[in-house]
């Protein structure tokens, strides 16, 4: 998939990864001295954004909803072990 198609999906992380590949190819294929500095800055920025998004996506975020869901799942598991249905 190309950069345009990836961007059209709305997935920012995948779009950045596609852009990373394009920038790496341009740098690797011998960008001119004038362009190398700009491409390197863009490449570094893209790498930082990818790392930030991956860290954010992989982190455990505790929200009020996630706390309620965890408590509910725990109660349901306990009820299944004891044979209770949770209804009066």
Answer yes or no: is 31 within a domain.
yes
pTM across the whole model: 0.64
Answer yes or no: is 30 within a domain.
yes
- Looking at residue 37, the DSSP 8-state letter turns out to be H
Answer yes or no: is 79 within a domain.
no
For residue 67, what is the enclosing H or E element? helix 64-82
Domain count, the chain: 1
How far does CA 46 lie from the centroid of its chain? 13
- Give the structural domain span for 11: 3-60
Answer yes or no: is 41 within a domain.
yes
User: For residues 26 and 32, what is the distance between their CA atoms, to the nearest angstrom?
Assistant: 10
Summarize pLDDT for 17-52 with one digit per residue, the tens: 999 999 999 999 988 888 999 999 999 999 999 999
Answer yes or no: is 54 within a domain.
yes
């Amino acid at each position: 998939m190309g950069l345009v198609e990836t961007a059209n999906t709305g997935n920012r992380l995948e779009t950045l990864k596609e852009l990373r590949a394009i920038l790496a190819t341009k740098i690797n294929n011998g960008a001119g001295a004038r362009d190398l500095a700009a491409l390197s800055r863009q490449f570094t920025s893209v790498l930082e954004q990818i790392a930030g998004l991956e860290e954010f996506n992989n982190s455990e975020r505790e929200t009020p909803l996630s706390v309620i869901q965890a408590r509910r799942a725990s109660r349901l598991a306990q009820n299944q072990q004891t044979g209770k249905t949770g209804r009066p």
